[in-house]
Amino acid sequence: MTVLHVPAGAAVIQSTGAALGERVVSLADLAASGANVDVERHGKLLGITHRHHVEEGTSTSDLAARACTQALAGRTAVDRIILATVSPDHPSPATSCRVQDLLGLHGCAAHDLAAACSGFPYALDAAARALMTGDKSVLVCAAEVRSRFVDPQDSSTAALFGDGAAAALVAPGGRGPQIRTVVLHADGKGYGRVHIPSGGARSPATAESVQRRETTIRMAGGPELFMELLEGMCGIAEETLAAAQLKITDIDVLIPHQPNRSAITRLCRLLRFPEERTQVDVQDTGNMSAATAGYSLHRALVGGRLAPGRRALMITVGGGYTAGGVVLEWPPEA
């Protein structure tokens, strides 16, 4: 476990942005396209009304650039771009380099970060550390096009994933929620639980592996994986609160990773946190992996839920396993 305590005002989220895939896809749409989904059963089980998929020709860098353009709010220079993704445009080079080019931010540092569904907290941690060691502004983004990595015949994943991006401009000073405490955790024992078997250096993609659909997401374990997810979310919440010397009653807004609606409901019960004070967007987006927490942060800010005088707790778990927790504080206005 790694803990980062950030001095007040050293890393402030000054603006955010978000983008979703162009096509709105319902369970009925998936079923009509031949996907192995049961509209009624999966609707009740997942609580996902629809998700967004990109159009042909749109990729991860395109969604990232759209979200980043909003977050930049007209700004024409940053010191660094950090892109969290596990669905890059290409295995090499870094997708952040294309995002930089699309934004016209030539010359700044740009690099990718892969932490699966925990990508956004990991990127916020990297941004805060960069600001504490000399950078003046960091553009954080998480973007995913997971629809291109889903096997439509795999009922455990076909209805889950959506495409989207979220971005945040982080800099010292100014108005906005401050990054105060970050806790990161990983446990490689879970490396093979949620993964794409083929397409990397250990098992390069071949015609045979594509035919066997080994270049798509695999989730092993079913109910056991669900319980591990809940345990991981509760664990990172407890560790982050302890590091920040807070209790769950000190939190005004919960921003969790959102694999499905039923997981969020169960999580709130376990944490004894009111679900009505939890930012929940999965019903409209599906699971967008790294982009999920960032998108919900954007929605909490746009909707006024995270406002001056309030404190938020972001918690995520992802494949690998990875986990991340962030305490955000927005001081009261003077």
Which CATH architecture fits 9-174?
3-Layer(aba) Sandwich (3.40)
Give me the sign of the Cα torsion angle 103, 107, 108, 113. positive
How far apart CA 295 and CA 285 sit, in angstroms, is 9
Residue-range domain boundaries for the chain: 9-174, 180-329
Tokens of residue 255, six digits? 């921003």
- State the Cα torsion 249-321-167-15 to the nearest 10°: 20
Tell me if residue 260 is catalytic: no
Query: Could you say which of 68, 117, 141, 268 is catalytic?
Result: 117
The reply to whether 9-174 and 180-329 are identical in fold is yes
Tell me if residue 108 is catalytic: no
Helix (H) or strand (E) holding 142: strand 138-145
Q: Which of 102, 99, 120, 112 is nearest to 16 (CA)?
A: 120
- The pLDDT tens digits along the chain (334 residues) read 999 999 999 999 999 999 999 999 999 999 999 999 999 999 988 999 999 999 999 999 999 999 999 999 999 999 999 999 999 999 999 999 999 999 999 999 999 999 999 999 999 999 999 999 999 999 999 999 999 999 999 988 989 999 999 999 999 999 999 999 999 999 999 999 999 999 999 999 999 999 999 999 998 877 788 889 999 999 999 999 999 999 999 999 999 999 999 999 999 999 999 999 999 999 999 999 999 999 999 999 999 999 999 999 999 999 999 999 999 999 998 6
Query: Could you say which of 68, 260, 287, 298 is catalytic?
Result: 287
Pick the CATH number of 180-329 from 3.40.50.2300, 3.40.47.10, 1.10.1060.10, 3.30.1550.10: 3.40.47.10
Query: Could you say which of 42, 52, 185, 257 is catalytic?
Result: 257
Tell me if residue 287 is catalytic: yes
Q: What tens digit of pLDDT does each residue of 188-207 get?
A: 999 999 999 999 999 999 99
Residue type, 299: R
How far apart CA 22 and CA 331 sit, in angstroms, is 36
Residue type, 324: G
